């Protein structure tokens, strides 16, 4: 690092006397000279695709794309909010005036946000966003969290450039390096832990009709999350009518599940024989026909005793979490050597099952392109809508290599 750049960092880590008061994105008030309406990086003269007249409005327009995915929305808002507050309070310039050098300065700031009294919540506690002691940070960011911040903010700036709000992306010179950083996925269940979870479900009581309905609902929910790699939000927002059947080139009928997912992207997921058996069992436990009708509007998962109501995100998370907790308790009862496994499965959440599905498919030699399409990591191109032979090959490989084996 050159002396000139060290001097630049020192000059820009300053306390601006007339900076706005610290507040969350929803409540921060920026003076006219810092709200970005005249930012030096604004795309003046172009035809913007959003109505935003200042930086906060632009950030909110970007965040609006993720309103239906709470975890993503919260993470993206957190990173945008931190940068906005640092830019205006610490650097004394609008977010839409940031340069590449400013971004390098912010990266240094993330390793040790100072002054701590302004930026870090005391005693590493996490106060609610409306609490007077709320701060943007709970401490210095780890290397992984710094990388995540870079990825998220690069997405934001790129979108604002494409929307015609900004002239350029100050992170673009660092983009290649950020793309090389591929964090190791650890939030998934290894084969032995996944087997323990299935055994927990299989041990559920089935003496009464209500017990049996709960048992089939659990099997169906975990089948959806694992065999299809669905997000909780996708389970809630899609319906039974999304199942459809079509013949492949050999005349074999194959079932599919059409999912409207994150970012309003449509994808089709192979509905394997195992999945369709679980669907039929679950529907019959609810007094429904074994297979859904094309126009059926029933949710993919229903509350116990109901044949019409949709379930909430919180209720689904609680159901999955309870299974993981019961699995952990059963492991601890076997002795001290099982405590590490118990602690790991107790940390798991519904989203772990999505990572588990992807990891197990990849480990079972399913073509990674098929894994990508099953999970919806990238939208299919227009041409792929007509390449049924590719879809059929994906279905055959998923059917052969990805099983739940109840």
Asked if residue 108 and residue 236 are part of one domain, the reply reads no
Residue 406 within any structural domain of the chain: no
Asked if residue 142 and residue 66 are part of one domain, the reply reads yes
* Separation CA 227–CA 31 (nearest Å): 52
Candidates 176, 181, 171, 180; CA nearest to 80 is: 171
pLDDT at 3: 47
Residue 124 within any structural domain of the chain: yes
Domain boundary among the residues 147, 180, 213 is at 180
Asked if residue 91 and residue 14 are part of one domain, the reply reads yes
The residue ranking higher by pLDDT, 222 or 181, is: 222
Asked if residue 228 and residue 110 are part of one domain, the reply reads no
Give pLDDT tens digits for 368-406: 778 888 888 764 332 233 234 456 678 888 988 898 888
Asked if residue 223 and residue 142 are part of one domain, the reply reads no
Would the pLDDT of 358 be above 90?
A: no
Asked if residue 100 and residue 136 are part of one domain, the reply reads yes
How confident is the prediction for the chain on average, in pLDDT? 84
Give pLDDT tens digits for 129-140: 888 889 999 999
Check which CATH number belongs to the domain holding 358 and give it.
1.10.443.10
Asked if residue 198 and residue 50 are part of one domain, the reply reads no
Asked if residue 153 and residue 213 are part of one domain, the reply reads no
How would residue 230 be classed by pLDDT, with cut points 50, 70 and 90?
very high
With helix as H, strand as E and coil as C, how does the chain read? CCHHHHHHHHHHCCCCCCCCCCCCCCCCCCCCCCCCCCCCCECCCCCCCCCCCCHHHHHHHHHHHHCCCHHHHHHHHHHHHHHHHHHHHHHCCCHHHCCHHHHHHHHHHHHCCCCHHHHECHHHCCCCCCCCCCCCECCCCCHHHHHHHHHHHHHHHHHHHHCCCECCCCCHHHHHHHHHCCCCCCCCCCHHHHHHHHHHHHCCCCCCHHHHHHHHHHHHHHHHHHHCCCCHHHHHHCEHHHEEEEECCCCCEEEEEEEECHHHCEEEEEECHHHHHHHHHHHHHCCCCCCCCCCCCCECCCCCCCCCCCCCHHHHHHHHHHHHHHHHHHHHCCCHHHHHHHHHHHHCCHHHHHHHHHHHHHHCCCCHHHHHHHHCCCCCCCHHHCCHHHHHHHHHHHHHHCCCCC
Number of domains in the chain: 2
Asked if residue 156 and residue 200 are part of one domain, the reply reads no
pLDDT at 391: 63
Domain boundary among the residues 180, 201, 229 is at 180
Residue 185 within any structural domain of the chain: no
Contact at 8 Å (CB) between 220 and 283?
no
How would residue 47 be classed by pLDDT, with cut points 50, 70 and 90?
confident
Asked if residue 307 and residue 252 are part of one domain, the reply reads yes
Asked if residue 140 and residue 85 are part of one domain, the reply reads yes
Residue 219 within any structural domain of the chain: yes
Give pLDDT tens digits for 382-391: 223 323 445 6
Residue 45 within any structural domain of the chain: yes
Question: Using CA of residue 18, residue 23, residue 24, residue 29, what is the dihedral sign?
Answer: negative
Asked if residue 46 and residue 124 are part of one domain, the reply reads yes
Candidates 128, 146, 155, 215; CA nearest to 183 is: 146
pLDDT at 65: 86
Q: Please state, for a pLDDT cut of 70, what percent of the chain lies above it.
A: 88
Would the pLDDT of 233 be above 80?
A: yes
Domain boundary among the residues 151, 180, 209 is at 180
Residue 308 within any structural domain of the chain: yes
Range of the domain at 61: 3-180
Over range 98-108, report the average pLDDT: 94
Over range 226-249, report the average pLDDT: 93
Residue 157 within any structural domain of the chain: yes
pLDDT at 378: 62
pLDDT at 8: 42
pLDDT at 18: 44
Residue 186 within any structural domain of the chain: no
């Amino acid at each position: 690092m050159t002396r000139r750049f060290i001097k630049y960092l020192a000059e820009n880590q300053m306390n601006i006397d007339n900076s706005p008061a610290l507040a969350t994105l929803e409540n921060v008030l920026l003076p006219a000279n810092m709200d970005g309406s005249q930012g030096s990086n604004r795309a003046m003269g172009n035809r913007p695709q959003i109505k935003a007249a200042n930086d906060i409005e632009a950030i909110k327009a970007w965040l609006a794309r993720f309103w239906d995915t709470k975890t993503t929305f919260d993470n993206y808002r957190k990173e945008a909010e931190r940068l906005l507050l640092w830019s205006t309070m610490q650097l004394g310039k609008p977010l839409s005036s940031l340069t590449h050098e400013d971004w390098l300065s912010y990266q240094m700031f993330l390793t040790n946000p100072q002054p701590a009294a302004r930026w870090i919540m005391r005693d590493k506690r996490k106060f609610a966003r409306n609490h007077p002691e709320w701060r943007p940070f709970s401490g210095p960011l780890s290397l992984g969290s710094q990388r995540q911040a870079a990825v998220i903010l690069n997405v934001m700036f790129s979108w604002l450039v494409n929307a015609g709000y900004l002239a350029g992306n100050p992170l673009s010179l660092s983009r290649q390096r950020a793309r090389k950083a591929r964090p190791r996925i650890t939030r998934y269940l290894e084969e032995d832990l996944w087997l323990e979870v299935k055994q927990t479900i299989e041990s559920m009581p089935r003496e009464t009709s209500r017990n049996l309905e709960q048992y089939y609902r659990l099997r169906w929910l975990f089948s959806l999350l694992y065999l299809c790699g669905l997000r909780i939000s996708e389970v809630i927002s899609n319906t039974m009518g999304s199942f459809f059947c079509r013949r492949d080139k050999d005349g074999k009928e194959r079932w599919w599940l059409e999912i409207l997912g994150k970012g309003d992207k449509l994808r089709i997921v192979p509905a394997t024989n195992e999945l369709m058996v679980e669907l039929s069992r679950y529907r019959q436990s609810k007094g429904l026909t074994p297979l859904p009708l094309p126009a059926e509007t029933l949710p993919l998962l229903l509350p116990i005793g109901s044949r019409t109501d949709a379930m909430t995100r919180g209720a689904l998370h609680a159901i999955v979490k309870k299974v993981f907790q019961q699995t952990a308790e059963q492991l601890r009862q076997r002795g001290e050597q099982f405590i590490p496994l118990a602690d790991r499965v107790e940390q798991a959440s519904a989203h772990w099952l999505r990572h588990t599905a992807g990891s197990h498919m990849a480990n079972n030699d399913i073509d990674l392109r098929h894994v990508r399409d099953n999970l919806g990591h990238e939208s299919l191109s227009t041409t792929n809508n007509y390449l049924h032979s590719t879809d059929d090959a994906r279905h055959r490989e998923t059917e052969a290599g990805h099983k739940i084996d109840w």
